[in-house]
Amino acid sequence: MLNRYRDWMHAWETRLNARDTNRVVRPLDWGLEWTEHWPVPNGTRHMAQANPAAYFAHLNQQIVTHSDDFYRYEMPADFRLNGNFLLFTSPVQTPHAVNNLARARWFAAGRRRALVVLPQWNCGPEDHNALCRIFNLLGISALRLSLPYHDYRKPTETPRADYAVSANIGRTLDAGRQAVIDARCCLDWLEAQGYRQLGIVGTSLGSCYAFLTSAHDPRLRVNVFNHFSVTFGDVVWTGQSTRHIRQGIESEIDQETLRHAWMAISPAAYVDKYARWPKKSLLVHATCDLTFLPEYSCQLLGEFERRGIPHKSSVLPCGHYTTAEAPFKYLDAYYMAAFLASAFE
């Protein structure tokens, strides 16, 4: 019976995944130019052209070791609230002007508790707005950040948020760095408004970015990781929704190479740094997930358990895409709301 349910759920997941018909297969691009201005020791620049795989593996080791420098930034001086949107210049500048203007939708509710909300990959501008309103009912304000290269920040030449996660290794790393720094800027603004109890909620790609943010910012005491995994490269290599990326690169590199090339934006690299400060954490994963395979989610849970990091874990009996379908979306929202209602002081 369980196998029949899993097969039925996988078939449903596959149908939902197939609705996106604008995925483009692109060849591997190491994106070396994206690494030139990162604040990290880089004594192997000479090998970049001759052996880019070895270069990126070493560079990622350096970033992980010096990650507090990699994710350091100067607070923007141009925060401005335009209606219900917070606007500011991202401290991480890219060749795309539209992406350099960070935008976060503001859902105000009280003056004590606030969340930064990071949605999933390829989300639209309305995604997670309903979730933010649920948080408001709990008396929690929410600042829903548009991720780099998403919705309002998406360059016109691409119909998808492919510049955030793609066959371009350096750009994908840079997008992760920008997402973390932009999220920390949101915390700066919330603090300036008088909020002292701060948390973060991330879903899928947003969950990865949320974990990296919290591992480098002691202000985040309440954390929800909704669909999570242990390593960025393994998700892209094995996930249903990123098959087009793998198809474009697998003739040039293998799964292990990709894992090392993106270790600097992988939660697995920062579990010890996450544990530096007291935090309350909820981790939600799905048993039939074809995008974030359950074994990778369980690996990150295992890292928490081995270190004795306090956390709660909730399991959805569905997949990645089906989480947005009834009745699972209600169960997912309940898990998050119930945790947040008790996690804030």
Question: Is 99 a member of any domain?
Answer: yes
For 225-279, the pLDDT digits (tens) are 999 999 999 999 999 999 999 999 999 999 999 999 999 999 999 999 999 999 9
pLDDT band at 84 (very low <50, low <70, confident <90, very high): very high
CA within 13 Å, CB half, 168: 17
- What is the number of domains present in the chain? 1
Phi, psi angle pair for 142, to nearest 5°: -140, 140
Residue 23 lies inside a defined structural domain of this protein: no
| Residue 109 domain flag | yes
What CATH number does residue 84 fall under?
Answer: 3.40.50.1820
What own/partner pairs with CB < 8 Å and gap ≥ 24 does 89-94 have?
A: 90/148, 90/178, 90/181, 90/182, 90/185, 91/181, 91/182, 91/185, 92/148, 92/174, 92/177, 92/178, 92/181, 92/182, 94/148, 94/174, 94/178
Whether residue 154 is contained in a domain is answered as yes
Q: Is residue 32 part of a domain?
A: no
Predicted pLDDT at 177: 98
Instruction: For residue 61, tell me if it sits in a domain.
Output: yes
Q: What is the pTM of this model?
A: 0.97
Asked if residue 27 belongs to a domain, the reply is no
> By residue range, what is the domain housing residue 93?
2-16+44-343
21: in domain? no
Please write the tens of the pLDDT for every residue from 87-132.
Answer: 999 999 999 999 999 999 999 998 899 999 999 999 999 999 999 9
Mean pLDDT of 74-99: 98
Q: Where are the alpha helices (DSSP H) in 239-293?
A: 243-249, 255-261, 271-274
